[in-house]
Structure 1
Amino acid sequence: MGELFSLFAVYITIFLFGMTVMRTGLVNLSQDRLKMTLMKMTSSPLKGLLVGTVVTAILQSSSAVMVMTVGLVAAGYLTFKQSIGIILGTNIGTCFTTELIAFNITSAIIPLLIIGVILLNMRKHITYCLGCISFGLGCIFVAMQGLETLAYPIASIPAAYNFLQLTNENNLLAVGVGAVLSALIQSSTATTAIAMGFMNDNILALQAGIGIVLGANIGTCLTAFLAGVGASRPAKLVGFAHIWLNIIGVLVFFPFIGWLGALSSSLTTIPNLQLAHAGTIFNIISSLAVLPFVALFTKFITTLHDDVKVRM
């Protein structure tokens, strides 16, 4: 049993390593442009949502964009209200990664790794960045394949099996599992990947997987909250806003997990894609629903945390 969980930890590490390497390549391709885009193109909530979506899709990390946003608000380049649109966009942009890893392209793993190594050893900046992207993506799919192979052996352990069955029967527990796991490993995408591994072997039900994805949205808020610790008061509010947006979204959608599962099942029969589509639908609807009420939500956060005065 110890060996199984050690391998599980190794595959999670490989996944996070791959995400970091791929993100490094993407960021280095356009690092300066990303910050300038956040600063110049967030004059309205809709623009902020679009920018947050695109930048998160590029960086492959909502946490990285949130940390950047907290920093810009702390420095006075963005107002707290401008950050709300970006937060809504990050929730949508992060779905790009989950949709990508849901596809089974194991035959491309070796070519991705080989091409990545070759490009990494070239001197040109652009080839190095492309090498990072290729090698990182290869590592991600190695980890995905490994997590899938470990799903059945782990589920064969009586304690793990009983816990998974309990998770299948209790959507609230699934949400809690997703929140805790995402907070611990600081990646909602990795949490979704774990759920996909168990779903592929029919160990985890779709509704339980959706519950874990919803919980992961809450758990990943920890990064932005920690980034605001010790920062200016407006920056702290960004972290609070991120937490409340995701908590409210999960509370509203929780009674409709069954509907969300039925809708995603009607779109595809592949378990991985069903879960990815469910997460995408949830985040798009949640973000678009809040978009017209950004001003009211800003007042709600500033009133709730009335000890914090901000520049609107």
Structure 2
Amino acid sequence: MQQLFSLFAVYITIFLFGMTVMRTGLINLSQDRLKITLMKMTNTPFKGLIVGTVVTAILQSSSAVIVLTVGLVAASYLTFKQSIGIILGTNIGTSFTAEIIAFNITSAVIPLLIIGVLLLMMKKHVAYCIGCVSFGLGCIFIAMQGLEKLALPISSIPTAHNFLQLTNENNLIAVGVGTILAALIQSSTATTAIAMGFMSDQVLALPAGIGIILGANIGTCFTAFLASIGSARSAKLVAFAHIWLNIIGVLVFFPFIGWLSSISESLTTIPNLQLAHAGTIFNIISSLAVLPFVGLFTKFVTKLHGKAV
């Protein structure tokens, strides 16, 4: 049992390492252009949503974009109201990452790693960055394979089996699991990957998997909250806005997990893709629903957590 959980921790570490390496390559390719884009092209909530979506899809990390946004608001480069559109966009952009890892292409792992290593040895900046992306993606797929192979052995352990059964029977517990996991490992994507690993062997039911990714949306707010500690009041409001947006989204969608599950199952028969599609649908609908009420939401957070900014 100890060996299984040690391997589980190793694969999670490989996954997070792969995400970090890939993100490093993508950030270095874009350099400071992303920060400039955030500052200059977010004057309306809709533009903020589009920019937040694109930047998050490029950086492959909603937490990184939120932390960057907190910093820009703290430095007065962005207003608190501008940050709301960006936050809504990050929730959509992070869905692209889930869609990518859902395509767990076994045959591509070795070529991705080899190409990545070869490009990393080159002196050209662009080649090095592409090498980071390729190698990081290879590590992610290796981790996904490992998590899938461990799903059945772990589920055969009585304690784990009982817990998984409880999670499958109670979506509220699934949301709690997703929240705690994402807060601990500070990655909603890694939490989604874990859920996908257990779903691939039908150890975890789709509604429970959806509950976990809903919870992961809340848990990932912990990173932004930590980044806001010691910052200006406006920066703290960004973190609170991020928390409230995700909590409200989960509360609204929780009763419709069954509906979301049915829609996802009608789109594909592949469990991993079903979960990825469910997350994408949830994030798009919840973000677009809030967009017309950004002004009201800004006033709500400001009144609840601090003076007007």
- Per the normalisation by structure 1, the TM-score is 0.99
- Kept in 2: contact 1:195–1:209 (CA 8 A): yes
The separation in 2 between residues aligned to 1:251 and 1:310, in whole angstroms, is 27
Report the counterpart of residue 91 of structure 2 in structure 1: 91
Aligned pairs for 1:75-224 within 5 A: 75-224=75-224
- Kept in 2: contact 1:179–1:212 (CA 8 A): yes
- Counterpart of 2:212, as a letter, is I
Aligned residues: CA RMSD: 0.5
The separation in 2 between residues aligned to 1:167 and 1:267, in whole angstroms, is 24
Report the counterpart of residue 232 of structure 2 in structure 1: 232
Q: CA deviation at 1:309?
A: 2.7
The separation in 2 between residues aligned to 1:259 and 1:208, in whole angstroms, is 13
Q: CA deviation at 1:130?
A: 0.3
The separation in 2 between residues aligned to 1:31 and 1:121, in whole angstroms, is 20
The separation in 2 between residues aligned to 1:309 and 1:128, in whole angstroms, is 46
Report the counterpart of residue 307 of structure 2 in structure 1: 309
- Counterpart of 2:268, as a letter, is T
The separation in 1 between residues aligned to 2:16 and 2:307, in whole angstroms, is 37
Asked if 1:15 corresponds to 2:19, the answer is no
- Counterpart of 2:20, as a letter, is T
- Counterpart of 2:114, as a letter, is I
Aligned pairs for 1:64-79 within 5 A: 64-79=64-79
The separation in 2 between residues aligned to 1:129 and 1:88, in whole angstroms, is 28
- Kept in 1: contact 2:104–2:144 (CA 8 A): no
Report the counterpart of residue 297 of structure 1 in structure 2: 297
Q: CA deviation at 1:104?
A: 2.5
Report the counterpart of residue 250 of structure 1 in structure 2: 250
1:194-219 Cα offsets, whole Å, 9 max, x none, are 00011111110000000000000000
The separation in 1 between residues aligned to 2:79 and 2:35, in whole angstroms, is 15
- Kept in 2: contact 1:233–1:310 (CA 8 A): no
Identity rate, percent:
83
- Kept in 2: contact 1:80–1:310 (CA 8 A): no
- Counterpart of 1:8, as a letter, is F
- Counterpart of 2:135, as a letter, is F
Structure 2, unaligned stretches of length 5 or more?
none
The separation in 1 between residues aligned to 2:31 and 2:251, in whole angstroms, is 36
- Counterpart of 2:301, as a letter, is I
Choose 253-262 or 96-105, whichever is displaced more. 96-105
- Per the normalisation by structure 2, the TM-score is 0.99
Equivalent residue of 1:94, what SS? helix
The separation in 1 between residues aligned to 2:7 and 2:307, in whole angstroms, is 48
The separation in 2 between residues aligned to 1:23 and 1:310, in whole angstroms, is 35
- Counterpart of 2:73, as a letter, is V
- Counterpart of 2:303, as a letter, is T
The separation in 2 between residues aligned to 1:188 and 1:219, in whole angstroms, is 7
- Counterpart of 1:5, as a letter, is F
